[in-house]
Amino acid sequence: MDELYDIIRDVSQDLLTNHNSFEAAGSFSLSYCVNLCTASSICLSAVRISASGECHLFSSTLHAHATGTETGLTYIGKRKPGAAQSATEMKGFCGTEESSTCNTAPSPRVYQGCQDAFDNGERNSEAVYTLHTDPESAPVLAVCQFDDQSGWTVIQRRLDGTIDFNRGWDDYAHGFGNTNGEHWIGLENIHHLTKKDQKLSIFLEDHEGQSRTANYSFFQVENRESNYQLLVSGYNGDAGDSLSYHHKMGFSTLDYDNDGSSGSCGSTYRAGWWYDNCLKANLNGVWHNAENAQQSQSGVAWLDWKHPYSFKTVYMRVGN
């Protein structure tokens, strides 16, 4: 193993811990991509894009429900969590440098979004799926929720405060966290997911186990050039309409101020959001336990239900 390999392994380890996935820079051979995943104790699966040679490592297993080989993508490996597996075993599992497709292992089906997954017969609600929200971009892991009529893509989830949401612009653009727990799918992915008419559904639960919802019949996030401007309308639900206040605002983070305040809401409220002056909702705010929930101004906030209050469990999902 050369020095570069060691460096990339260490970096990938770090990125996998703090982010959903690691996108290796430059192009790598299939065997090198396999070796990277094998060398990392928390990499459970990887995808290599044949055309560019980009290697994407994931800290979750890609789904065994998948069948067939997606054009242009090679599913490189799937390890059981915690199970030791050598590079040779992974190569044997999924193919070699010479034949760059997996003959023995199923390739993951890659969907544009969870509605696409639903339309293709997927019904495993709460499972993690591989999404390709835009053909030009890297695949991303996302939780799908299915009901009788449709598939919802979870774009954000708070549960327990294990993931730090006080992050800069790049993290909010590209996503972070763990799909098995707290995560943010990234503004790029939200933009691509909401190009067509989409609804937004927000679930809120307090520390006493009461829950309410806020639904919007129209939800769209514009592109990077527009600072991922939020367009939202058509509220119904029982949590109150705290998001319409943020309609037409660009996204702000601690290091990038697009808000309607003379100060920096991202710095003050320690999160990334579509701040105006400053907020009525702050679902990426600092997570607090039950003891501190009522004291926090910078918490996971939804002012039209309770204020000041920091909610315990929250998720945001899009669908049509």
In the complex, the residues that contact Ca ion under the rule CB under 5 A are 257, 259, 261
CB of 285 to Ca ion, least distance (A): 17
Q: Residue 303 has what DSSP assignment?
A: T
CB of 298 to Ca ion, least distance (A): 16
Comparison of 43 and 254: residue with beta carbon closer to Ca ion: 254
Comparison of 79 and 270: residue with beta carbon closer to Ca ion: 270
Comparison of 172 and 216: residue with beta carbon closer to Ca ion: 172
CB of 278 to Ca ion, least distance (A): 9
Residues 6+ apart with CB under 8 A from 123: 146
88, with CB counted inside 10 A (0-12, 13-18, 19+), is: exposed
Comparison of 111 and 228: residue with beta carbon closer to Ca ion: 228
Count CB neighbours of 271 within 10 A. Answer: 28
Comparison of 206 and 259: residue with beta carbon closer to Ca ion: 259
Comparison of 220 and 253: residue with beta carbon closer to Ca ion: 253
CB of 266 to Ca ion, least distance (A): 9
Comparison of 69 and 268: residue with beta carbon closer to Ca ion: 268
Count CB neighbours of 308 within 10 A. Answer: 13
CB of 229 to Ca ion, least distance (A): 15
CB of 101 to Ca ion, least distance (A): 51
For 130-173, give the secondary structure using H, E and C.
Answer: EECCCCCCCCEEEEEEECCCCEEEEEEEECCCCCCCCCCHHHHH
- 87-94 vs 30-39: helix axis angle to the nearest 10? 130
Using Cβ positions, the residue closest to Ca ion within the complex turns out to be 257
Q: Residue 61 has what DSSP assignment?
A: P
User: What would the DSSP string read from start to end of 76-100?
Assistant: EEE--TT----HHHHHHHH--SSS-
In whole angstroms, how far apart are CA 295 and each of 10, 289, 290, 309, 315?
A: 39, 11, 10, 7, 22
CB of 174 to Ca ion, least distance (A): 23
Q: Which helix (DSSP H) or strand (DSSP E) does residue 73 occupy? A: strand 73-78
Comparison of 152 and 275: residue with beta carbon closer to Ca ion: 275
CB of 264 to Ca ion, least distance (A): 5
Residues 6+ apart with CB under 8 A from 81: 44, 61
CB of 274 to Ca ion, least distance (A): 13
Alpha-carbon span 212 to 215, nearest angstrom: 10
Q: Is 182 helix (H, G, I), strand (E, B) or coil?
A: coil
Comparison of 101 and 261: residue with beta carbon closer to Ca ion: 261
- Amino acid symbol at 66: A
